[in-house]
A = this chain, B = another copy of it.
Amino acid sequence: MALTHFTRSGDAHMVDVGDKAATRRRAVAEGWIRMEPETLSLIEQGGHGKGDVLGIARVAGIMGAKRTADLVPLCHPLSLTKVAIDLECRPGENAVRCRASVETRGQTGVEMEALCAVQVSLLTIYDMCKAVDRGMSMTDIRLVEKSGGRSGHWVRDRETSSSDS
């Protein structure tokens, strides 16, 4: 077994996808940012006109998806046909959960774009709340589902997903 992003001599390269079919490809990723209960309350109040933290984090995540190939060195540049970000306050977990769905019609998958969208969304929440809660933690950022392409339909095993009750 070897890592495909390296040649036999160990040099990094952007893998040749020229012979892959241009199919409908979709990926869903998720992640959490954990915080003090008071911080989560401030975010929830934002929905009532005091500063829409989640609205801004959603926009940042969508824009972040478009910057993936600029950030991840060996990632192929891609046209995206859809990006949606779902952000949900989870008081029982003292967390905001972010879920990103990304689609393309192309020769490579979009799991990197979905993960990047989650990361930038969570990072943006951190930025807006850091003055009141420096100890927040971004966690369990991972792929949930992936379809299209040679590797078929992949779904994360529910059992391993302990954070998501």
Contact = CB atoms under 8 A, between A and B. Distances in A.
B72 A31 contact: no
Number of copies of this chain that the complex holds: 6
A145 to B, nearest CB: 10
Interface in A124-165: 124, 126-132, 134-143, 146, 154, 156-157, 160
B142 A12 contact: no
Given A11-B86, A13-B84, A85-B13, A3 B136 contact: no
Contacts of A123: 71-72, 112, 115-116, 119
Contacts of A55: 11-12, 52, 55-56
Given A71-B67, A131-B4, A126 B112 contact: yes
A83 B137 contact: no
17 contacts: A4-B131, A6-B128, A10-B46, A10-B52, A11-B51, A11-B84, A13-B83, A59-B59, A60-B73, A63-B71, A73-B124, A75-B127, A112-B123, A112-B126, A112-B127, A134-B143, A135-B156
Interface of A: 1-7, 10-18, 24, 31, 38, 42, 46, 49-53, 55-56, 58-60, 62-67, 69-86, 103-107, 111-112, 115-116, 119-120, 123-124, 126-132, 134-143, 146, 154, 156-157, 160
